[in-house]
Structures are given as structure tokens and as C-alpha cells.
Amino acid sequence: MLKKIIRSVQEKQARWKELQEQLLRNRGSTTPLTEQELMEILNAAIPLLLSEQSLIEFNAPVVICGDIHGQFEDLLRLYDSVGWPPEKRYLFLGDYVDRGPQSVEVMSLQILLKLQYPNDYFLLRGNHEHAVINRSYGFYNECTSRYSVNLWKRFQNLFVCLPLSALVSKKILCMHGGISSELKNFDQIRGIQRPTSVSPSGILCDLLWSDPEENADGFKKSPRGIGCVFGENVTIEFCDNMGIDLIVRAHQVFDQGYQFFAERRCVTVFSAPNYCNIFNNAAAALIIDKNLNCKIVQIMPRNKKKK
């Protein structure tokens, strides 16, 4: 029986490796994977994601990356620059889909890497991993024009299973959006049941949608119309009360690919260079070593060199 189980695991791992090689064979071009193959990896990933807690907890070292937004070739450049799994442990903060041209490829590779390296490759949910959002910002059209509405629906089945936050070495709290005025302890995140939809307010909403704001005093309504903005004072207070050193989040584009806030107690990391072919921004990844020393690595737009 044990030999059969081992053989089954080995066969599955070989299958995921084969599909990854197939996906990367014509690097940067549209995926050669069929809808049946994509369904296969989605069906395998859903129970794996649900086996994780809503608050993932693991120790550094880790590379933390922000929004990718369908920029498949730039995701490959990031791996080429920083190191491919499992050489490096990765945590992605969400927003894999929409706006960029190859959300299917981005998500397919992310899932295949998760299936192969489940303890060294972590995926959080972003605000675009929500049917209401990615129905309107590109992912729906990409799925239905290249495959079918059924594939888009199956991706939604996976998105509602993604973990919502991560705690690295008990000292670094990570999420896509930001903190919440309602969040007082980690058990509140641990207690969020998945699969889950996103309510227009509350802790889950804020984890996906909120933003830091230099001019804010405390927590205020967000100009996005959902989530909140949070000021430096409550950011520092939150870190002290929760016993953490740093908040790492994504959700906003900055020219250098990153931005510190609140006396460096919060950092935004954005990992899609030249976002939407408009911003000409650098991308960034945050590398954290086992001693929790942090280093920023930038990925420049393909038409721009690092100064």
C-alpha cells in the first residue's frame, strides 16, 4: 500500500513537471495547455489550498512578491533574476490576473509551482481574485476568447479558496491590501472560513482592499469606495499591539516598485514592471533572510535600465 501511495505521488509530481515544461517551452507566447489540462491542475490545487489556514504561518527565508496582473514574461524575468523555486521560497500577495495579456499563463504557472512545492510556494488572494472584479478587467474575456466560460468559472472556484494573509517568523504580517480597524488578533484571520466571498466591509474586505495614507489620521473611508485607508499612527500602533515588526502588502503601483510607510513599519511591494504599458515603473521583490534582514530587488521595465 505504501509503495502504491509513493508511486502515485511521484506520478503526480512528474505530471506537474511535464505540464510546467510544456507551458514554458515557448516562453512568452500563449500557453499550449488545453482546457482539459488546465482543469486538471485547478482540480488538484483546490483541495491543497483548502488544506492551508486562512493565515499561513512559516519561517523565513522567503521572497515576497506583489501584483503580477497577467504579465507572464515579466514573472519569468523575476524568477530568472531572483531564483526559481525550489531554490527560493516564495510568497505572492495576490492580483495574478486582469489587465495584463497572459493571466491564464501566470495563474497556470503559479498553480503548477504550488502543486510541486507546497511547503515552499505560497499564494495569497488579492482583490482581483474575485469574480465581480475579474469579470470586468480582462480575465473573463481572456478565458472566454481562448477557452470557455467554464474555465473562468473554475478559476473562480479556486480563487475563493486562496489563503488571505501570511505571518512570517511570527514578526512579518503579509496581505494584499492592508490592516483593518476591526483586526485585533491573529485568530480573527485564522477563523475566516474558506471558500469565501468578499463582503463590502469587514476584516476580509480590508485585507484585500485597504491602503496606507500619509495624510490619514486613524482609519478613514477609502476613495476606492471599498476598504479603508489607514494612517501612520494606527499602523505603528497595530504593529506594536500585534507584536510584529513589519507589514508587507501590495495593491498599489510605485515608480520604484516599492514604498515604505510609517517609519518603515509597512512596505508596499509591486511586482509588475511597466504596469499596463503606461507607468514605466520598476517592479520589486522583497527578499527576507533567515535572520529577518530585508533586501529589495528591482526588475526594470524592458525598455529602461537601472540607474
Q: pLDDT tens across 165-196, in order? A: 999 999 999 999 999 999 999 999 999 999 99
Q: pLDDT tens across 270-293, in order? A: 999 999 999 999 999 999 999 999
Among the listed residues 251, 291, 214, 290, the one whose alpha carbon sits nearest the alpha carbon of residue 94: 251
Residues of 158-188 as b/e, b for ≥16 C-beta within 10 angstroms? Answer: bbbbbbbbbbbbebbbbbbbbbbeebeebee
Rounded to whole angstroms, how far apart are CA atoms 231 and 292? Answer: 25
Whether residue 128 lies in the annotated active site:
yes
User: Residue 61: is the preceding peptide bond cis (ω within 30°)?
Assistant: yes
The pLDDT of residue 95 is 99
Q: Which grid coordinates belong to 25?
A: 517551452
Residue 269 contacts residue 286 (beta carbons within 8 Å):
yes
Residues of 127-155 as b/e, b for ≥16 C-beta within 10 angstroms? Answer: bbbbbebbeeebbbebbeeebeeebbebb
Q: Which grid coordinates belong to 206?
A: 480590508
The pLDDT of residue 305 is 53
Pairing of the two strands 165-168 and 172-174: antiparallel
Among the listed residues 115, 209, 105, the one whose alpha carbon sits nearest the alpha carbon of residue 155: 105
Handedness of CA 39, 40, 42, 43 (dihedral sign): positive
The pLDDT of residue 307 is 46
On the question of pLDDT at 2 being above 70, the answer is no
Predicted confidence band at 28 (pLDDT cuts at 50, 70, 90)?
low
The pLDDT of residue 303 is 74
Whole-angstrom CA distances from 70 to 66, 101, 172, 222, 278 are 12, 6, 27, 26, 15
Which whole number is the average pLDDT over 237-264? Answer: 98
The pLDDT of residue 151 is 98
Handedness of CA 182, 285, 59, 164 (dihedral sign): positive
Percent above pLDDT 90 for the chain? 90
Rounded to whole angstroms, how far apart are CA atoms 49 and 272? Answer: 24
- Mean pLDDT of the chain, nearest integer: 95
Axis crossing angle, helix 149-159 with helix 35-50, rounded to the nearest 10? 10
On the question of pLDDT at 263 being above 70, the answer is yes
Q: Which of 128, 130, 176, 251 is catalytic?
A: 128
Q: Work out the angle at residue 290's Cα, subtended by the Cα atoms of residues 289 and 296, and round it to the nearest 5 degrees.
A: 15
Q: pLDDT tens across 95-136, in order? A: 999 999 999 999 999 999 999 999 999 999 999 999 999 999
Rounded to whole angstroms, how far apart are CA atoms 253 and 29? Answer: 25
Other CB atoms closer than 10 Å to residue 96's CB: what's the count? 31
Predicted confidence band at 32 (pLDDT cuts at 50, 70, 90)?
confident
In terms of CATH, what superfamily is 36-299? Metallo-dependent phosphatases (3.60.21.10)
Alpha helix (H) ranges present in the chain?
2-25, 35-50, 72-82, 103-116, 131-134, 139-146, 149-159, 187-190, 203-209, 232-242
pTM of the model: 0.96
Secondary structure of residue 74 in the 3-state scheme: helix
Predicted confidence band at 3 (pLDDT cuts at 50, 70, 90)?
low
Which whole number is the average pLDDT over 197-218? Answer: 95
Q: Which grid coordinates belong to 74?
A: 515579466
What residue ranges do the domains of the chain occupy?
36-299
Paired residues of 168 in beta bridges: 58, 172
Other CB atoms closer than 10 Å to residue 259's CB: what's the count? 16
End-to-end CA distance of the chain: 59
